Structure 1
């Protein structure tokens, strides 16, 4: 395989999960954290970054050990690696980002049961080399994170008129610049920060993605048709 082909493949591993194969918007996985945690953009960012780190670690380890994991013990070994990575991350967040830990709570531990993490291990990491698996983990994680942040941001904006409220408290003083009051003295829409609001926002995002995908597909077909006519 040429270097150009390898670069193209690596780029596709990273880009595809961001939109066209997004774990939430297309695969409809990991909806529990996407709906439960995203009462604010800060919470979505915190859990998204935690999940991304778990994906990078587990994808790398599982790919590196893929030739030594026999089919008979594949499932418990994969789950054990994921559980170990999540446990270490849970302890680290509790120690150094305790305010964020109190907000996310059980959902950090539940990364173990995240279908996106286990699904990539089964579908990709056990069949591919370390570097593509690592890149795939980064892409899946970033794709997951931006959707969580978007859902949380929309709900927070509608619910309280702010964006990334308490980011410095939850993520550290370095993130204080994220805190924005978009609408001062806004009373907010209570429905937005309640569970039904999460379903409503996610529904609009899913519909919006399908409209955009259809528009892009129609435009490509039109361009191909014009190219055929010119030829």
Structure 2
């Protein structure tokens, strides 16, 4: 597979087709665990591990999986890697595992993962499937971290658990509540898509000038 194609499959998940800001997928963990950067990073990496591993396996076994049972088979594959991720977090990162709570096991039903397997991994070669999964995982992780950073800074006056402001700072407690999650996500989606649209218009104008 050409290097350009690999790069394209990876970067589309980060920007053009970001699973959170563009596709609006995986909203349950996005809104629930994004109270801090650490939580966002942990959930993003766990989801990325499952996504990449499951996409690779799905791409490899697709010729031998009957279409009638493909969904149960892929669900078992996803559940296997979710179990691994959950056990690793519990063994090596107990505080993070406790903070993420039931949302790590719920990665099994994250529509980002099954969506990419059905829409891309099973229709392409393993290297393309992995490139796509890496890009989507990176985009998902980045979105969670940005959302978590905004909520953590405004809601608790900290960043990565480090206090940023003095005693005079009054945190916006709404930012660590569900309402704050919806508000922050809406603002970030608007900013992201406005920037995306702006860059697209600049590209169109540049191409028009080049053709003139």
- Normalising by structure 1, what TM-score? 0.88
2:164 to 182, 185, 194: 182
Q: Distance in 2 between matches of 1:125 and 1:44?
A: 25
Q: Quick one: distance in 2 between partners of 1:137 and 1:214?
A: 24
Tell me, yes or no, if the aligned pair for 2:22 and 2:193 is still in contact at 8 Å. Answer: no
- CA deviation string 1:202-226 (max 9, x = no partner): 1011111221122112212222222
- 1:26 aligns to 2:8 (yes or no): no
Structure of higher CA gyration radius? 1
Equivalent residue for 1:215, pick from 191, 198, 205: 198
Matching of residue 11 in structure 1 with residue 7 in structure 2: yes
Q: How does 1:50-199 map to 2 (within 5 A)?
A: 50-165=46-161, 180-185=162-167, 186-199=169-182
User: Which residue does the alignment assign to 2:211?
Assistant: 228
Q: How far does the alpha carbon of each residue in 1:52-74 deviate from its partner, in whole angstroms, 9 at most, with x for none?
A: 11111111111111111110110
State the distance in 2 between where 1:217 and 1:146 align.
21
For these two proteins, the number of residue pairs brought into alignment is: 211
Check conservation: 2:43, 2:104, Cα contact below 8 A: yes
Tell me which stretches of 4 or more aligned residues in structure 1 moved more than 4 Å: none
Gaps of 5+ in 2: none
Which structure 1 segments of 5+ residues have no match? 166-179
SS at match of 1:67: helix
The one of the two structures with greater contact order (alpha-carbon pairs below 8 A, sep at least 6) is 2
Aligned-residue CA RMSD (Å):
1.1
Question: TM-score normalised to the size of structure 2?
Answer: 0.96
